[in-house]
A and B are shown apart, each in its own frame.
Chain A
Amino acid sequence: DAKTTQPTSMDCAEGRAANLPCNHSTISGNEYVYWYRQIHSQGPQYIIHGLKNNETNEMASLIITEDRKSSTLILPHATLRDTAVYYCIVRVGNYGQNFVFGPGTRLSVLP
């Protein structure tokens, strides 16, 4: 089973920041937090990942709480093309372990 819980759905106004929360209260010390999204029936698209420090790339920012029990994915200026299902996945980084997908959060960016 997925080790994360996420809200089922969220709305965000176009141009505003979208903040997607994820709870992973049972995360282990060597487990990373990965974020993916899936647009329609396309393959999951990698967004960002982190261990304990906050991370930023060209797509998003990842804020991980100090106790690592939760995190937030931030899309700074959401566009209509960001409408998708967003998945938060916790997994050990090494050894190529498979991902366990939960139902994710369906983000709707509204004009």
Chain B
Amino acid sequence: EPEVTQTPSHQVTQMGQEVILRCVPISNHLYFYWYRQILGQKVEFLVSFYNNEISEKSEIFDDQFSVERPDGSNFTLKIRSTKLEDSAMYFCASRAGQGNQPQHFGDGTRLSIL
């Protein structure tokens, strides 16, 4: 069964450094998402992406964050200057374009900021 894959599984970065989290959505899916989950807290929406542009973003998704779909397969989340509070699990999700199809999530990247 097709699945969303995320790399790396664990990323350790010094505060202030840039980090790029990578996702390969399910082939032929049209909607892409990033969510995050701080340890012990709820899963929070960050951003959605459709037709090569951001369609919706949350208050969390400030100027430090950006997303890109550089080619036909990858979907990336960049954090420009990481802060300690960016430490979290980051989940990518994708969804087929038609109707009420569900989102399918990857297993996440654990981001640890030191």
Stretch of B11-19, B62-70, B74-82, B94-102 that contacts chain A: B94-102
**CB atoms of A103 and B106 under 8 A apart:** no
Given the interface contacts A96-B31, A98-B33, does A43 sit within 8 Å of B42 by beta carbon?
no
Q: How far is the CB of A47 from chain B (nearest CB, A)?
A: 9
23 pairs, CB–CB < 8 Å, chain A vs chain B: A32-B100, A34-B102, A36-B105, A41-B108, A42-B107, A42-B108, A43-B4, A43-B91, A43-B108, A46-B102, A49-B102, A87-B43, A93-B101, A96-B30, A96-B31, A98-B33, A98-B56, A99-B43, A99-B45, A100-B45, A101-B43, A102-B42, A103-B42
**CB atoms of B100 and A93 under 8 A apart:** yes
**CB atoms of A44 and B105 under 8 A apart:** yes
Chain A interface, number of residues (Cβ within 8 angstroms): 23
Given the interface contacts A41-B108, A98-B33, does A46 sit within 8 Å of B103 by beta carbon?
yes
Complexed CA–CA distance, A49 and B33 (Å):
19
Chain B hits for A96, CB < 8 A = 30-31, 48, 50, 55, 95, 97
Chain B hits for A98, CB < 8 A = 33, 45, 48, 56, 58
Chain B interface, number of residues (Cβ within 8 angstroms): 31
Complexed CA–CA distance, A99 and B58 (Å):
11
Is there a chain A Cβ closer than 8 Å to B83's Cβ? no
Complexed CA–CA distance, A46 and B95 (Å):
11
**CB atoms of B100 and A43 under 8 A apart:** no
Complexed CA–CA distance, A97 and B56 (Å):
8
Interface string of A83-109 (1 = CB under 8 A from B): 000010000011011111111000000
**CB atoms of B106 and A101 under 8 A apart:** no
Could you say which of A44, A46, A51, A97 contacts B91, with CB atoms under 8 Å apart? A44
Complexed CA–CA distance, A38 and B31 (Å):
21
Complexed CA–CA distance, A87 and B37 (Å):
14
Chain B hits for A46, CB < 8 A = 102-105
Q: How far is the CB of A58 from chain B (nearest CB, A)?
A: 12
Chain B hits for A102, CB < 8 A = 42
**CB atoms of B44 and A101 under 8 A apart:** yes
Chain B hits for A49, CB < 8 A = 100, 102
